[in-house]
Amino acid sequence: MSHQISGLRAWMLQRLSALYLAGYALWATIYFLLRPIPDHAAWHALWAQPAMTIGATLLFIALLVHAWVGMRDVILDYVRLPLLRLALLALLWVWLLVLAVWLVRILIGVM
Amino acid sequence: MTPHRHRPVFFHLLQLHLPVTALVSIAHRLSGILLFLALAPGLWLLERSLADADGFAAAQHILDSWPMHLAGALLLWALIHHLLAGLRLLLIDAELGVGRRAARRSAWWVGIAGLLALGLGVLWP
């Protein structure tokens, strides 16, 4: 993966996901300022909507891609030992995968 | 893979006089790492708050405690700084504000907006 997503493609993915994340952040801020969440029922109902499931899934895909490129850059910049570098990149992959599975479980749980 | 094995390295950070653009750039990276680290606790809170009414109350209670309040303020800074510094770079990619004066001015705005967000987060009731 690290050599498939490298150079220009990583740069592009980082920026495309950034645009989506920025738009979502703006939308979420306005939404929650206009409609604060009073209690658990309202919170649960919000997350149970199909639109929210789709939106959150897309958000999380963008987030994971963005985090992958960013943390990959950090690791490549500061970790020089090839083996340690590889290990950390693998760990990052596993960690992001764990987060993705976790979110899927949460989303299925409220459906 | 590493063509320059003996690149000059100067790490006396206190002797370096970094321009504001460099500080904003370092903070961009730092805020990104913070946001990355916050993903798991964030998911945990989301799961907890969605589980049942007790979990929702528990999550609210956790967020209301003062250490979490400060952590929240720090994350708000990280989010705002990272977002604005990123948008600044997107504009620079589009060749807007590339000149040194404009780049420094936009960097100041990003830094100040981030600190305002931090203040807002700390003072939030």
Choices 3.30.1360.10, 1.10.3720.10, 2.60.40.10, 1.20.1300.10: CATH for B21-123: 1.20.1300.10
Contact A99 B49 (CB under 8 A): no
Q: Is A1 or B58 the better-scoring residue by pLDDT?
A: B58
Task: Return the HEC string of B57-125.
Answer: HHHHHHHHCHHHHHHHHHHHHHHHHHHHHHHHHHHHHCCCCCCHHHHHHHHHHHHHHHHHHHHHHHHCC
Report the alpha-carbon distance of residue A71 to residue A96 in Å, rounded.
11
CA dihedral defined by A18, B34, A2, B26, rounded to 10 degrees? 80
- What are the domain boundaries of chain A? 7-110
Per CB-CB distance under 8 Å, the chain B contacts of A18 are: 86, 90
CA dihedral defined by A68, A69, A74, A79, rounded to 10 degrees? 80
Q: Is the pLDDT of residue A87 over 70?
A: yes
The predicted structure's pLDDT at residue A6: 65
- Domain A7-110: top CATH class: mainly alpha
Per-residue pLDDT of chain B (125 residues; tens, 9 = 90+): 556 667 777 777 777 788 899 999 999 999 999 999 999 999 999 999 999 999 999 999 999 999 999 999 999 999 999 999 999 999 998 989 888 899 999 999 999 999 999 999 999 87
Q: In chain A, whose CA is at the least distance from the CA of B31?
A: A70
Q: What is the pLDDT of residues A45-57, one digit of tens each?
A: 999 999 999 999 9
Mutate to test the interface with B, among A3, A15, A26, A40 (most CBs of B within 10 A): A40
Contact A39 B32 (CB under 8 A): no
Return mean pLDDT, chain A: 91
The DSSP result for A16-70, as a single string, is HHHHHHHHHHHHHHHHHHHS---SHHHHHHHHHSHHHHHHHHHHHHHHHHHHHHH
The predicted structure's pLDDT at residue A1: 46
The predicted structure's pLDDT at residue A79: 93
Minimal C-alpha gap between A4 and chain B (Å): 16
Mutate to test the interface with A, among B48, B50, B90 (most CBs of A within 10 A): B50
- What are the domain boundaries of chain B? 21-123
First to last CA, chain A: 32
Per CB-CB distance under 8 Å, the chain A contacts of B46 are: 106
The predicted structure's pLDDT at residue A42: 94
Minimal C-alpha gap between B26 and chain A (Å): 11
Q: Mean per-residue pLDDT for A15-32? A: 93
Cβ–Cβ pairs < 8 A, chains A and B: 55
Rg (CA), chain B: 19
